[in-house]
Structure 1
């Protein structure tokens, strides 16, 4: 018979910038499958201008990318014990956000970004917790199909939602894009779509364009 136990657990996250009252906006960014936060956060270095704080949580499960040694990556979840893993990482992400914001002004603007697998992660964080945010960016990722429609619409209806992908992204097929459109229709959200010439990666130029845009007044 399966049993469960709650234990103290340490998890890490990376930060670019210094939390202080000078910070005007926070980018809370979730990496994709097989990545580590300490490398993923480097893709946001151009945003580190003294007024922007970049926070990169890391998937709670690390593994060797090939065989039993060498490079290590992290993942947010697998199909095994799926719902419990989702609940665990939502608790973890909420704790990271709460800790970071203790050193910031309460009116700081917040962008939530998820790349690839991190898109599903950040979507659940945005819609299934009480996190305050102003902008949601799914980069090379899509809404997960299990988002609760009513709760998701309530959390996202007055937020800026942006879908970003490269025109040469081998993972975002026409079928995946159609699936994304169907999920967005189900939760009654019409995201803006931005494209760049490139593959399955963060495009620094487009990232800066989004960063320089004024936040929508809710």
Structure 2
């Protein structure tokens, strides 16, 4: 007989700088499968600013990237106990962003970027969060295929959305693109599509167009 129990859990996150709580904007950047937040947040280093706080949460599941030793990466879920992992991710991100927002007298804009597996995780959470998402960037990934369309329509009513893909990304298939296009049609929202000459990676020039457009 299967049972469940909740307990206090310690999770890690990394920041671009120690917050002053006078920042004008927050970027919540959600890494992909097999990455670590410590290194992922560094990819945004050229965009660090006293007025812009980057917060990089780390997936709560860990695995060796090859075999049974060596480099370790984090992930947001696997197919095993998937629904439990999704619920845990929502509680983690709610708690994390809430712990910062409560300290601001003037609320900053909130932008969310999800990379690869982190894109689906970001869309699930953002569509359920009680706050306003000003910008949602899905990079080398897309909307969660099980996204609640009705909830997402309401949550993203005033959200600017970007879908970014590398033209040489071997992990993105024509089938996955087709599914995303169908989901976007069902959402009925405008999504700006951007591409770059690269693979499954972040591109500085495209990041600059998105981040600095939201000053």
Q: TM-score, normalised by structure 1?
A: 0.94
Write the distance in 2 (CA, Å) between the matches of 1:209 and 1:2. Answer: 49
How far 1:182 moved relative to its partner?
Answer: 0.6
**Paired residue for 1:77?**
77
Deviates more, 1:178-187 or 1:85-94: 178-187
Write the distance in 2 (CA, Å) between the matches of 1:176 and 1:77. Answer: 19
How far 1:105 moved relative to its partner?
Answer: 4.1
Matches within 5 A, 1:20-169: 20-169=20-169
Write the distance in 1 (CA, Å) between the matches of 2:134 and 2:105. Answer: 15
Change (3 A) 1:175 1:102: same
Quick check: 1:94–1:131 contact (8 Å CA) kept in 2? no
Runs of 5+ unmatched residues, structure 2: none
Write the distance in 2 (CA, Å) between the matches of 1:214 and 1:58. Answer: 25
How far 1:17 moved relative to its partner?
Answer: 1.9
Q: TM-score, normalised by structure 2?
A: 0.96
How far 1:20 moved relative to its partner?
Answer: 1.4
**Paired residue for 2:19?**
19
Write the distance in 2 (CA, Å) between the matches of 1:87 and 1:187. Answer: 23
Encode CA deviations 1:163-203: one digit per residue, 9 max, x unaligned: 01111111112221111111111222221101111110011
Write the distance in 1 (CA, Å) between the matches of 2:38 and 2:129. Answer: 25
Write the distance in 1 (CA, Å) between the matches of 2:40 and 2:55. Answer: 10
Where 1:128 maps in the other structure, the secondary structure is coil
Quick check: 1:23–1:105 contact (8 Å CA) kept in 2? no
CA RMSD of aligned residues (A): 1.3
**Paired residue for 1:198?**
198
Quick check: 2:119–2:143 contact (8 Å CA) kept in 1? yes
Quick check: 2:101–2:107 contact (8 Å CA) kept in 1? no
**Paired residue for 1:8?**
8
1:185 and 2:213 matched: no
